[in-house]
Amino acid sequence: MSDSSNYGHGDEDEDEEEEVVDEAGYKTSKDAVLFAIDVSDSMLTKPDDADPKRPDTMLSPTVAALKCAYALMQQRIISNPSDMMGILLFGTEKSKFQDGDVETGRGGLQYPHCYLLTDLDVPAAADVKQLRGLVEDEEEAADLLVASKEEVSMANVLFCANQIFTTMAPNFSSRRLFLVTDNDYPHASSRDARNSAAVRAKDLYDLGVTIELFPISHPDRGYTFDRSKFYNDIVYSATPSDPDAPMPLSADIKPASSTAKDGISLLQSLLSSVASRSAPQRALIRNLPFEVGPGLKISVKCFILIKRQEPKRTSYIYLPPDSDKPQIAVGSSTLVADDTARSVEKAEVRKAYKFGGETISFTVEELAKIKHFGDPVLRIIGFKPMSMLPIWANLKPLTLCYPSEEEFIGSTRVFSALHQKLLRDQKMALAWYIPRRNASPVLAAIIPGAESRSEEGEQQVPPGLWIKPLPFADDIRQTPETNLVPAPDPLTDAMRVIVQQLQLPKAIYDPRKYPNPSLQWFYRILQALALEEDIPSVPEDKTLPRWKQIHKRAGGYVVEWGQVLDEQFRMWQRDNEKHVKPTTNGAAKRTKAEPPSAGAGGGKAKKVKHEDGEEGVTDAGMREAYATDALSKVLVADLKAWLQGKGQKVVGKKADLVDAVTKYFETKMDVD
């Protein structure tokens, strides 16, 4: 059986091929982004009170937007190799849209004051080099970035974008126009021009293109961007307009300030805004039936918000001995018979499992029937308080579900009512969950999640319902035996001071501030080789602890805690008359203490005697074993002797004896 798609995968993947979520297809959905950057006089003016020590604050808004596009292109050329990017400058003195054809003699199509810097295409190394030269070479930028004396037609700009998306990315599932400008009221004196621009914007939305506006304000000039003058008719909200929808209308992106006083430069604010909208929403599961109750069914979409990223290999290559040009190697896998080495066709293959020393085989059809538990569904079977969900019940990453009106009209209202009720009462729903065809059913907790926003108003976590698969009894492993010594209060108080000194900013871990150093280092080397840059010598690792700051803030407290630990340990040794002895594997082992006195006279506790005259476990020892869940470690003879001494029946295996002892302590309450 030859199959190039399974090259490099083991047999384990083949066994689960029908149950694996196609996350690769989910992640690699094609996305096309076109930057439209304004090149007006105000956009080319550098801030007056920029900080010379910080070069990012001395950039004009146009150059900052180009650097932002350059950074996004660097990121996508490796991490999303199928995505397209393009850059359109408008308001320039020069015009360029389509180059002429020399062979046919036809002239190129031009639009006044629109300059297509980089056509919408998969970014190549040459495109990145060209854009890098523009943002780093002031002479080249000065030659191209010249504002026109005439006002550019926004209708032409939007029509240019329409032509670009239609010709270069006609079948892309996600197409977006990033519009960067500081002019909140173009064509102030021409109502017809504004209406024409609104019509062109409507054409873009009919084509499936989303317009994302990145406004820029100039506080030093007393100017604040007001999108209500013009852009409310151009930029449509993609969120539901239903007032009962769980996701309220997203607040407009905060206008980036060219002279921010809070230390955030224009480039950083643009990068932050673009990053928040650079990844489109891609549904992992579309139109999953959600049964809220008998006869009440709605439709939801499921999304993955957190997924581990790894360097992705696009292909295998090899260098032929007679050529320096690498060739792509196409892999294939073939099943062969163990005895004759004959190739086995797919129709001859049966899947086999071993049970009791025998091999049981199934056809593909039989296996499909065994694994079939019904069609995909998310069915609520009950409700519980959130406090009953244990923190350790984690099997897989949580999935966010959100209503979809495609299958059932009114899903948003029902979903919203359920979400708000669960959130208000701090309840969770238990559900029967089959995410896709041929998938094994699981019990899942449906947890309500509230919306989270940053201080700048950008959405960090959307509102919705989170699906958390719960473990079955077969998935839970036995907990390891531990003999812990609780820390005394003085030791805990000393550690509390250390923890308070080492808290993260606002006591919140923000993963966006800590990129994966291994992944970033790999991409940085790959980028340097592709763009012919100098290879860096030291990787940037933001996860490394800041030792000097830690020592300055908590070093003295750590030393004091060590002293308290030594003192408390000596007291514990004296009180318990135990000593810690190292074992062969380096762990610590405590020697057994003498049994405590059983009465006022200081006599030893009563022990149960075996039939052969040997002494067994005492009542205090059995009670301690019960309290620490260690009854399974008591010898069977000791259990029988102890139960006989209490007048209990002694029958069955060891598990039955343990149950009898447990029942005795639970019912008789045998305490001192």
- Whether 211 and 233 share a structural domain: yes
Can you give the residue range of the structural domain that contains 611?
585-672
With a cut of 60, say whether residue 658 has pLDDT above it.
yes
The residue that leads in pLDDT, 173 or 153, is 153
pLDDT of residue 31: 81
Provide the number of structural domains found in the chain: 4
CA dist., res. 579 & res. 117, Å (int) = 76
Question: Which tens digit of pLDDT belongs to each residue from 357-400?
Answer: 888 888 888 888 888 888 899 999 999 999 999 988 888 889 99
pLDDT of residue 26: 37
pLDDT of residue 305: 81
User: Highest-confidence range of 132-141, 194-203, 511-520, 615-624, by mean pLDDT?
Assistant: 194-203
CATH number where 574 lies? 1.10.1600.10
- Give 14: exposed, middle or buried? Use CB within 10 Å, 0-12, 13-18, 19+: middle
Amino acid at 195: N
CA dist., res. 238 & res. 249, Å (int) = 9
pLDDT of residue 385: 95
Residue bearing tokens 């996350």: 23
* 3-state per-residue secondary structure call for 431-498: EEEECCCCCCCEEEEEEEECCEECCCCCEEECCEEEEEECCCHHHCCCCCCCCCCCCCHHHHHHHHHH
Q: Which two tokens stand for residue 333?
A: 């896998």
- Whether 230 and 107 share a structural domain: yes
- Whether 635 and 664 share a structural domain: yes
Q: Which two tokens stand for residue 368?
A: 């499909």
Q: Which of 477, 492, 514 is the last residue of a domain?
A: 477
User: Highest-confidence range of 73-82, 339-348, 493-502, 535-544, by mean pLDDT?
Assistant: 493-502
Q: Is residue 371 assigned to a domain? A: yes
Residues of 310-331 as b/e, b for ≥16 C-beta within 10 angstroms?
Answer: eeeeeeeeeeeeeeeeeeeeee
What does the DSSP 8-state code read for residue 376? S
pLDDT of residue 57: 64
The Cα-based distances of 339 to 171, 323, 349 in angstroms read: 50, 40, 15
CATH number where 409 lies? 2.40.290.10
pLDDT of residue 456: 67
Q: Is residue 25 assigned to a domain? A: no
- Whether 549 and 634 share a structural domain: no
Kindly report the average pLDDT of the chain as a whole number. Answer: 78
CATH number where 123 lies? 3.40.50.410
- Whether 490 and 445 share a structural domain: no
What does the DSSP 8-state code read for residue 184? S
Q: Which two tokens stand for residue 7?
A: 């090259």
- Whether 571 and 597 share a structural domain: no
pLDDT band at 4 (very low <50, low <70, confident <90, very high): very low
How many percent of the chain have pLDDT more than 70? 78
Contacts of 272 (CB under 8 A, 6+ apart): 456, 458
pLDDT of residue 271: 62
pLDDT of residue 52: 66
Q: Is residue 13 assigned to a domain? A: no
The residue that leads in pLDDT, 284 or 199, is 199
pLDDT of residue 239: 44
pLDDT of residue 347: 80
Q: HSE of 365 in the Cβ direction (CA atoms, 13 Å)?
A: 2
pLDDT band at 2 (very low <50, low <70, confident <90, very high): very low
Q: Is residue 608 assigned to a domain? A: yes
CA angle at 502 for the pair 498 and 508, rounded to the nearest 5°: 135
pLDDT band at 90 (very low <50, low <70, confident <90, very high): very high
- Whether 40 and 127 share a structural domain: yes
Q: Which two tokens stand for residue 447?
A: 């947890």
Question: Which tens digit of pLDDT belongs to each residue from 595-627?
Answer: 444 433 444 444 444 444 455 778 888 888 888
Q: Is residue 171 assigned to a domain? A: yes
What is the gyration radius of the CA atoms in the chain, in angstroms? 34
With a cut of 50, say whether residue 637 has pLDDT above it.
yes
With a cut of 80, say whether residue 176 has pLDDT above it.
yes
Distance from chain centroid for Cα 515: 12
User: Highest-confidence range of 280-284, 401-405, 482-486, 595-599, by mean pLDDT?
Assistant: 401-405
- Whether 67 and 160 share a structural domain: yes
Least confident of 22-31, 90-99, 321-330: 22-31
Q: Which of 254, 278, 302 is the last residue of a domain?
A: 278
Least confident of 137-146, 197-206, 229-238, 288-297: 229-238
Angle between helices 489-501 and 547-576 (to 10 degrees): 170
pLDDT of residue 615: 59
- Whether 556 and 611 share a structural domain: no
With a cut of 80, say whether residue 579 has pLDDT above it.
no
Q: Is the pTM value of this prediction over 0.85?
A: no
pLDDT of residue 496: 93
pLDDT of residue 480: 77
CA dist., res. 466 & res. 472, Å (int) = 19
With a cut of 80, say whether residue 16 has pLDDT above it.
no
- Whether 321 and 447 share a structural domain: yes
CA dist., res. 464 & res. 411, Å (int) = 13
Contacts of range 609-617, beta carbons closer than 8 Å, 24 or more positions apart: 609/641, 610/637, 610/641, 616/641, 616/642, 617/641, 617/642
pLDDT of residue 281: 53
Give the total residue count for the chain: 672
Amino acid at 387: S
Question: Which tens digit of pLDDT belongs to each residue from 236-283?
Answer: 754 433 333 333 333 434 555 444 433 335 556 656 555 554 555 556
pLDDT of residue 667: 67
3-state SS assignment for residue 609: strand
Nearest to 89 by CA among 109, 107, 63, 71: 63
The answer to whether 431 and 444 are in contact (CB under 8 A) is yes
With a cut of 50, say whether residue 100 has pLDDT above it.
no
CA dist., res. 440 & res. 217, Å (int) = 54
Q: Is residue 23 assigned to a domain? A: no
- Whether 539 and 493 share a structural domain: yes
- Give 441: exposed, middle or buried? Use CB within 10 Å, 0-12, 13-18, 19+: middle
Least confident of 86-100, 244-258, 326-340: 244-258
The Cα-based distances of 522 to 141, 311, 398 in angstroms read: 31, 8, 28
Least confident of 34-38, 276-280, 340-344: 276-280
The residue that leads in pLDDT, 16 or 499, is 499
Q: Is residue 503 assigned to a domain? A: yes
Q: Which two tokens stand for residue 625?
A: 């074993």
Residues of 32-56 as b/e, b for ≥16 C-beta within 10 angstroms?
Answer: bbbbbbbbbebbbbebeebeeeeee
* Average pLDDT of span 183-197: 90
pLDDT of residue 253: 46
The residue that leads in pLDDT, 456 or 24, is 456
- Whether 544 and 422 share a structural domain: no
3-state SS assignment for residue 597: coil
CA dist., res. 157 & res. 213, Å (int) = 14
- Report H helices in 233-310: 266-278
pLDDT of residue 559: 94
Question: Which tens digit of pLDDT belongs to each residue from 518-565?
Answer: 888 887 887 788 777 788 888 888 888 888 888 988 999 999 999 999
Torsion of CA 10, 520, 510, 84, to 10 degrees: -80
| Residue numbers annotated as active site | 27
Q: Which of 580, 611, 639 is the last residue of a domain?
A: 580
Q: Is residue 5 assigned to a domain? A: no
End-to-end distance of the chain based on CA atoms, in angstroms? 73
The DSSP bridge pattern shows strands 427-434 and 377-385 to be antiparallel
